Structure 1
């Protein structure tokens, strides 16, 4: 560790003694190369570090990218960090992204009683309360599963058979399918991307490919969404989760970040969705499309049907 600065400081902000020593030596509690120290500690530190830095800043409610350190603690579900910030004077009811405050956002999460709501302070609307309940059920139903490298299309209002009809999917030879499932990356991409699994769930269907982005290709999504809507996800192992919105065969959004949390410029509804499905890209896609799978089988189990797509350019058609 150097003297009074943050030189060499990485993303581990849990060492209270080390960080206090840096601050005592002159490290700026207001800024470091990765952003505001208090915001970073709220995300990656310990409650002790949060309290230490909060006691040294000029404004515990200073904003970074439109949000306070308390917002970061609430969104990341770090309850003790949030309590340390409130003890240091942070305001839970300060409006921020999409008009939401950290306190009102917490009402939609797993700890709705985290803050005492002052008289006259608005709670959740009925629609927001229902969205929070549905999110808790959906996230719980899907649970945790490995999705890195997986491609998915969540489509409203059609079942697996209709999805196959729209895609003009054909049968997959059993021996080929067995070999592909056993070692998908041994096959040429042009071949493996044409094989998808399709499963009917409550509200629509899920098209899945555990090894690639096939379901999210524009030509696939456009065919699936005629007269309806769908949300596609590719969990890119190199660059993170990539999402798209397609409605009635028209791409309305591309290079989106499902499960990426809240962000500046989002609407009130988008902020709530970002919070409820933070780090849950597949649940986010289901929720956007109005799907309510009872469990994760559509993503992790044997689909209702494996099909082979016709050989065509799905990036152009």
Structure 2
């Protein structure tokens, strides 16, 4: 971090937003509370997501408008979306409006109803609550996260396919049963190139799941395109070098590339459904993919050596 007395926001890091002394010194030296912070956004929005309630309150006291919009959302919305209720309370105490319309129908107050603190704000007469479908999505997210967030290490890939059975998935891929492979032995020696084309496919309510616990093939576009015919696939590769790499393919066409499932990033152009899903599944990349495809497994079998069937993909031409 740059010297505490610096008069701008140079050298600011994510951790800086919890240091009240440093932020106050910057402001006292002339740092603009309304200016953008490279490579971040507006100071108040960044503090709402990454900072402490004390820093949020200090910035809120100095900004021109506590409800200023950045990328279509207020700092209060940012605090709610990222599950920072203490920061949200500090913003409301500074005059922020929980019920200001934004983000495709998700005011901060309405979005808070889908978070672990649904009683964060006092209700306001006439404000819409969650629909039945949204309430069901919230309830399903809690069960889904508990069920499928079971990977301890990176290096795996998963594809969730809506409305397609495991047998149909194998047919679409031209895969053959791997009857002569001892999966338990494979799991003990997963990094062998011999198993590059080996994948598991499992029927689950709503569709099927394709998994490769040791490689990227379940997120390979060459695999996803035939799987997605007439439907949609939500997939990710947990890249050990660069983090979760998501891909969404609908009926053979890529509609989301190099996404960061579970990363908690949304655009004001996203649908109301996608904004809710991103809020619910922060830090839960695998569950996010299941939810995107509408899959509701009762257990994590589809991600383990107990997958319904193991098949070998044909050699790539």
- CA drift of 1:228 comes to 3.9
- CA drift of 1:204 comes to 2.1
Which residue pairs with 2:212 in the alignment?
209
Which residue pairs with 1:231 in the alignment?
234
> Which of 78, 81, 84 is the matching residue for 1:78?
84
Q: 1:192/1:269 Cα in 2 relative to 1: closer, same or farther (>3 Å)?
A: same
Task: Verify: 1:35 aligned to 2:37, yes or no.
Answer: no
Which residue pairs with 1:277 in the alignment?
281
* SS, match of residue 177 in structure 2: coil
How many angstroms apart in 1 are the aligned matches of 2:91 and 2:204? 42
- Asked if the contact 2:149–2:284 (Cα under 8 Å) also holds between the matched residues in 1, the reply is no
- Asked if the contact 1:41–1:49 (Cα under 8 Å) also holds between the matched residues in 2, the reply is yes
TM alignment of 1:8-157, pairs within 5 A: 8-12=11-15, 13-31=17-35, 32-33=37-38, 34-143=40-149, 145-146=151-152, 148-157=154-163
Task: Please list every run of 5 or more consecutive structure 1 residues that lacks an aligned counterpart in the other structure.
Answer: none
Which residue pairs with 1:251 in the alignment?
253
How many angstroms apart in 1 are the aligned matches of 2:280 and 2:287? 10
How many angstroms apart in 2 are the aligned matches of 1:208 and 1:77? 30
* SS, match of residue 139 in structure 2: helix
- CA drift of 1:267 comes to 1.7
Which residue pairs with 1:305 in the alignment?
309
Deviations, residues 70-105 of structure 1 (Å, cap 9, x unaligned): 111111111111111111111111122123111111
RMSD: 2.3
Q: 1:247/1:30 Cα in 2 relative to 1: closer, same or farther (>3 Å)?
A: closer
Q: 1:135/1:69 Cα in 2 relative to 1: closer, same or farther (>3 Å)?
A: same
Task: Verify: 1:181 aligned to 2:187, yes or no.
Answer: yes
* SS, match of residue 57 in structure 2: helix
* SS, match of residue 153 in structure 1: strand
Deviations, residues 216-260 of structure 1 (Å, cap 9, x unaligned): 223322333345432222223344433333344x22413044323
* SS, match of residue 97 in structure 1: coil
TM score, norm. by length of structure 1:
0.87
- Asked if the contact 1:145–1:300 (Cα under 8 Å) also holds between the matched residues in 2, the reply is no
How many angstroms apart in 2 are the aligned matches of 1:83 and 1:307? 52
- CA drift of 1:181 comes to 2.6
How many angstroms apart in 2 are the aligned matches of 1:155 and 1:198? 10
Q: 1:144/1:74 Cα in 2 relative to 1: closer, same or farther (>3 Å)?
A: farther
How many angstroms apart in 2 are the aligned matches of 1:23 and 1:183? 56
- Asked if the contact 2:20–2:54 (Cα under 8 Å) also holds between the matched residues in 1, the reply is yes
Task: Verify: 1:169 aligned to 2:201, yes or no.
Answer: no
